[in-house]
Amino acid sequence: MFTLLPSFTDIMNTSITGMQTRFAGLDVVSNNLANINTTAYKSSRSNFQEILDATTKLEKGTILQSTQHNMKEGTFVESDSPLHLAIQGTGFFAVTMPDKTKAYTRDGTFSLDANRQIVTDKGYPLVWSGQIPNTAEKVEIDENGLVTVLQNGTWTNVGQIQLNKFPNPGGLIATGNNLFTASAASGVVQTANPGANNLGWILPRMKEVSNVNLGLEMTNAIITQRNFQLQLRTFQTTDTMLSQAIALRR
């Protein structure tokens, strides 16, 4: 039975796409390692896919098909700020972007800006139902998302923070700065008070730690780098063989 073998060009193209995808994979691993100390950061992993020729069924290389987010909850550490919040459960905080659209984050290291808005460390306002008065002396937020302020010796409720969840949080689109936007894959957002609809609870004066696994990422980096080196060696060997074949025909 006749078996079709790959040509020198096929092998070299396969090696090139292999190097390109492994290089892209190293970018993903490097980004995870760079954010190992970023509050509530969610690690990513690369999903590779083989390219097959429709006619010959020979492998034509690989591509980076997608990048998948690991939405596993990180551990929690205490904070001394009453505006630092974590979420125990699957929920997200909603924030308002400069174009007035909503983005979602697990990073609850909030503060007050000059306009007395509760904002992220990048200045994006938290979506909630109230406003901090100029006369507020202290601010406290409880596990139910109720925001109270101290004014003239009296604590007053000034609003409610709700949480948001998605049917498939792994389908959210990462936009940088620890923010995500909804997509067709993530499904339609569901918004409710903490504790409802399995959204989870707010943990006051707490911060969620990055869920990056240092040991796993270092292992992935070594494996990806070795795969890159293997593809490079294959390319170099094939190039040498091709040059020798050309020389023999002269």
pLDDT in tens, 187-230: 999 999 999 988 999 999 999 999 999 998 899 888 877 877 77
Which pLDDT score, from 0 to 100, does residue 2 have?
Answer: 44
Cα→Cα distances 75→158, 161, 176, 212, 246, Å: 30, 22, 21, 11, 60
Which pLDDT score, from 0 to 100, does residue 195 have?
Answer: 92
Distance between CA atoms of residues 187 and 168, nearest Å: 6
CB-based contact 55:76 (threshold 8 Å): no
Band (pLDDT 50/70/90 cuts) for residue 65 is low
Percent of the chain residues past pLDDT 70, beyond the cut: 82
For the cut 70, the answer to whether the pLDDT of residue 48 exceeds it is no
For the cut 60, the answer to whether the pLDDT of residue 3 exceeds it is no
Which pLDDT score, from 0 to 100, does residue 22 have?
Answer: 76
